[in-house]
Amino acid sequence: MKAMELKNEELEELKDSSKKISDCHLYDICKYEQESECCRYIMMIVEKDITVKVCAKKTSLKEKIDKMVEAKLMSTNKDNCEGL
Q: Tell whether 32 is covered by a domain.
A: yes
End-to-end CA distance of the chain: 20
Inter-CA distances, 1 with 4, 20, 34, Å: 9, 17, 12
Which band of pLDDT confidence, cut at 50, 70 and 90, is reported for residue 79?
Answer: very high
Q: What is the C-alpha to C-alpha distance for residues 58 and 83, in angstroms, rounded to an integer? A: 6
Find how far residue 82's CA is from the centre of its chain: 13
Decide if pLDDT at 3 tops 90.
Answer: no
Q: Tell whether 2 is covered by a domain.
A: no
Q: Tell whether 35 is covered by a domain.
A: yes
Number of domains in the chain: 1
Q: Tell whether 3 is covered by a domain.
A: no
Report the predicted TM-score, pTM, of the whole model to 2 decimal places: 0.88
Decide if pLDDT at 17 tops 70.
Answer: yes
pLDDT, tens only, 26-78 = 999 999 999 889 999 999 988 788 899 999 999 999 999 999 999 998 888 99
Full domain range(s) for residue 51: 8-70
Q: How many CA atoms lie within 13 A of 23 on its CB side?
A: 1
Q: What is the pLDDT of residue 47?
A: 77
